[in-house]
Chains A and B, each alone.
Chain A
Amino acid sequence: MSTRAQFSEELDQLKQQIKELAVEAKYSLDSAIHLLYECDVEKARQLIEDDAELDAREERINDNAVLMIAKQQPVASDLRRLVSAIKISSDLERMADHSTNIAKATIHLGEHHNIEIDPELREMAILAMDMVDLAVKAFEYEDITLANKLAEMDDVVDNKYGMVVKQMLELTAINPEQIQHIMQMAYVARYIERFADHITNIGENIFYLVKGKTYDLNS
């Protein structure tokens, strides 16, 4: 196999590793939200422990990318691919961290709280997970039109976040004794909103990968 063919194969492997990490990050949010509604403190603790594996995956992607930069001295789209890989994997790792934050909120709320978890949180999470699917597709096909849709979806998540926070504030006014619990729900909304922001960053990295320029999809 020629050196170039081997390098191309390594780039493909790196892409595959990123896609797998994205699936794991999505799965972590799915699980965290499910456990929140189920008040499953035990499994929430497990989810936090499992995050170490995602951190390790991110580290492996970074190590591989840095090694390829050192060995191949890439330029142009090859270099952009590797720079994007490092940045995207960092966003994915941060997304998984937000899932663990949600699991921590589940632990704070405990098994026997009696407040209703706002259904809007699930709606926000579903949207964020759809964004992950779209981002993976945009990354797979290096499709900037798809990547740009992430910005629109992120706007919807942001709007929902605004509404949820407003509702929470109203709730604290009429249920001051439950303020600790309500605050946890507001935090969860914030974590999902941040999760979605990281996906938008991935969209920006796809733009950079394709166009070689930096774009701001968050504004």
Chain B
Amino acid sequence: MNETIEQQKKTANVKIESKSTDKKQKNTEGRHVFEVEDLNLWYGSDQALYEVSMNVPEQQVTAIIGPSGCGKSTFLKTLNRMVEMVPIVKTSGDIKYRNQNIFGNNFQQEYLRTKVGMVFQKPNPFPKSVYDNVAYGPRIHGIKDKKTLDQIVEKSLKGAAIWDELKDRLDENAYGLSGGQQQRVCIARALAVEPDVILMDEPTSALDPISTAKVEELVQELKKKYSIIIVTHNMQQAARISDKTAFFLNGELVEFAETDDLFQNPRDKRTEDYITGRFG
């Protein structure tokens, strides 16, 4: 029996025995792809993130939830330093990717972008063929051999669970695909450069329920090889597919816990109010 339950017993002034085990936050257990410490971020004079500290576990799905404007997308884009494309951004604090400081002078941004792929809210294929979309990254990395590229394209499309649907349509323009197919092609494009982490910014918000289910199923498959961080407005989706969930509010990380715990018994009242729709 752990201290938390002992404390609760004391509070209730009762003598009781717990049948359940208290799942502790495994924030410090296991391997992490990212270790974020005291991260602050400003857009000009407006602060968007406040003292965010969290460890992102390896080969798990980490969901980030919170109301619009809470900083969750900003946080996601900070992990691959994409946020710095906004010129007025400044940050303080540390982010380590595989124990290397991503803000360090010796750290190459290209390496980070290769290792940390991103999938956006709206499917954004290039106006090219399915094949060229997926081969785009490897070609940039200097792979020219047709046979190697063929293998990469097949492997990536299989990884994104869309090979069977598109194997005979590789030369078709990706714009002609359905939204769900386009999104999975974008995931395949991210996989083609063999990333370590995949960031997903509301990847199903523009998709119908069937395409959403396919992407969710894919996420479950992908986590066997990759670490996934997904921003979502759909709380049921976070509950269904993630292992850990982080709740952001007004730029602050309010709670970061096992998804099962956070959705059944959140520790912070603000989390409870948000996930039960009592906000606003």
**Interface on A for B, CB 8 Å cutoff?**
3-4, 7, 73-80, 144-145, 148, 151, 207, 211-217, 219
Contact = CB atoms under 8 A, between A and B. Distances in A.
Contacts, number: 63
A215 B275 contact: no
B16 A215 contact: yes
Given A77-B272, A144-B12, A207-B16, A212 B277 contact: no
B261 to A, nearest CB: 9
A136 to B, nearest CB: 19
B263 interface: yes
B265 interface: yes
A148 B12 contact: yes
Contacts of A213: 5, 8, 18, 20, 22, 265
B278 A215 contact: no
Given A213-B5, A216-B19, A76 B276 contact: yes
B1 to A, nearest CB: 11
Contact of A214 (B8, B15, B18, B277): B18
Interface string B138-160: 00000000000000000000000
Contact of B278 (A4, A151, A217): A4
A194 B19 CA distance: 21
Binding site secondary structure of chain A: helix
Interface residues of B, number: 25
A216 B16 contact: yes
A211 B266 CA distance: 10
A214 B265 contact: no
A3 B271 CA distance: 19
17 contacts: A4-B277, A75-B235, A76-B266, A76-B271, A145-B13, A148-B15, A148-B16, A151-B16, A207-B16, A212-B265, A213-B8, A213-B18, A213-B22, A213-B265, A214-B18, A214-B20, A216-B18
Given A144-B12, A148-B12, A77 B276 contact: yes
A215 B264 contact: no
A216 B5 CA distance: 13
A211 B264 contact: no
A76 B20 contact: no
B276 A216 contact: no
B52 interface: no
A217 B236 contact: no
Given A207-B16, A215-B18, 6 more contacts: A75-B264, A76-B275, A77-B276, A78-B276, A212-B265, A213-B265
Nearest to A217: B16
